[in-house]
């Protein structure tokens, strides 16, 4: 893709009311991507801070005086005519009554209903960051025995892990351990099995596709009610994962890792160049740990995926 020469910095707000609903604006007929819903905000002008820009935009768009809260994430996104950096901030306190002052429709949406609204590509990773876990645990092989392995998963869940990929090499062991995880922890954590579509379907859990599977499949292998993820290393794989309707992808390695000796990491600049060409939610993998979630979100990632750094020793 040819890189657009125009770059803009947009600041948007996740505005939540007392019921936890989130406010969306609908783009009007004279704007780009008219009819799509988005998080309200606008372009940061020269000389403005992000806070000043967002306060001004929300005053102009919605007629409210906002108190800008914590940062959520940055999303780099390429459009045909521009390279966009979308900076997202929370707004939980404001004065006035929100209304569409520029003729636009507005609506308050429960977080679990956000995916029903058609949105621009840059807004989609924000929805993922609001609804999906920032950490994705990939299990190591159960070298210390099945019970010790299951105990470590229990400890990871107790520590806040809410999404787990079960990766064991032997089919019989994979099936038995996956069944044990679903029976013990299925109500506490989202479970995906590595590569095995048939097993995922049998157990009613998600599947994490290998990079070669992503390129080979012609359609989403599981229904919308079950998660489908993919390992990706380049743009072709990311685009294939997006076409399949994957719920998220894992991209890397960002940094060199012990599990892939001799493989140079992408680095964050290359990660961003890939990330900005798709709207798919993406975890960064490779040298990542729990403390890297904010750094990952500064570069447009949903969060981090890891084996050793997220695996508790019991």
Pairing of strands 206-209, 190-194: parallel
Geometric angle at alpha carbon 210, from 186 and 274, rounded to 5°: 105
The string of pLDDT tens digits covering residues 264-293 is 789 999 999 999 999 999 999 999 999 999
DSSP state of 16: B
Domains contained in the chain, CATH given: 7-121 (3.90.79.10), 135-310 (3.20.20.70)
pLDDT reported for residue 313: 75
The string of pLDDT tens digits covering residues 158-210 is 999 999 999 987 777 888 999 999 999 999 999 999 999 999 999 999 999 99
Contact indicator for 51, 35 with CB cutoff of 8 Å: no
In 3D space, the residue among 38, 190, 168 whose CA is nearest the CA of residue 114 turns out to be 38
- Round to whole Å and give the CA distance between 36 and 25: 8
Q: How far is CA 111 from the centre of its chain?
A: 14
Mean pLDDT, to the nearest integer, of 143-151?
A: 92
The string of pLDDT tens digits covering residues 31-58 is 788 899 999 999 999 999 999 999 999 9
In 3D space, the residue among 292, 287, 289 whose CA is nearest the CA of residue 311 turns out to be 289
């Amino acid at each position: 893709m040819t890189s657009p020469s125009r770059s803009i910095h947009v600041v948007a707000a996740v505005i939540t009311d007392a019921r936890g609903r989130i406010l969306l604006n609908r783009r009007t007929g004279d704007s780009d991507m008219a009819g799509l819903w988005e998080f309200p905000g606008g372009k940061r002008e020269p000389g403005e801070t992000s806070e000043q820009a967002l306060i001004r935009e929300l005053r102009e768009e919605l007629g409210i005086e906002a108190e800008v809260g914590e940062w959520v994430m940055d999303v780099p996104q390429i459009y045909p005519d521009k390279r966009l950096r979308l900076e997202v901030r929370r707004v939980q306190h404001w004065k006035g009554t929100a209304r569409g002052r520029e003729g636009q429709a507005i609506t308050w949406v429960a977080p679990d209903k956000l995916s029903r609204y058609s949105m621009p590509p840059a807004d989609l990773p924000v929805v993922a960051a609001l609804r999906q876990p920032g950490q994705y645990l990939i299990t190591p092989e159960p070298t210390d025995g099945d019970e010790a392995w299951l105990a470590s998963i229990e400890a990871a869940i107790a520590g806040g892990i809410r999404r787990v990929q079960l990766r064991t090499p032997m089919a019989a062991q994979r099936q038995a351990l996956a069944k044990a995880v679903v029976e013990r922890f299925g109500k506490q954590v989202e479970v995906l099995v590595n590569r095995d579509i048939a097993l995922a379907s049998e157990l009613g859990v998600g599947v994490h596709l290998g990079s070669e599977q992503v390129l080979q499949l012609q359609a989403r292998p599981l229904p919308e009610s079950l998660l489908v993820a993919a390992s990706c290393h380049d743009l072709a794989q990311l685009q294939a994962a997006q076409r399949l309707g994957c719920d998220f992808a894992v991209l890397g390695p960002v940094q060199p890792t012990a599990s892939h000796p001799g493989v140079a990491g992408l680095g964050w600049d290359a990660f961003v160049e890939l990330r900005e060409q798709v709207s798919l939610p993406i975890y960064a993998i490779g040298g990542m740990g729990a403390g890297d979630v904010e750094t990952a979100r500064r570069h447009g990632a949903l969060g981090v995926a890891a084996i050793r750094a997220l695996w508790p020793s019991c």
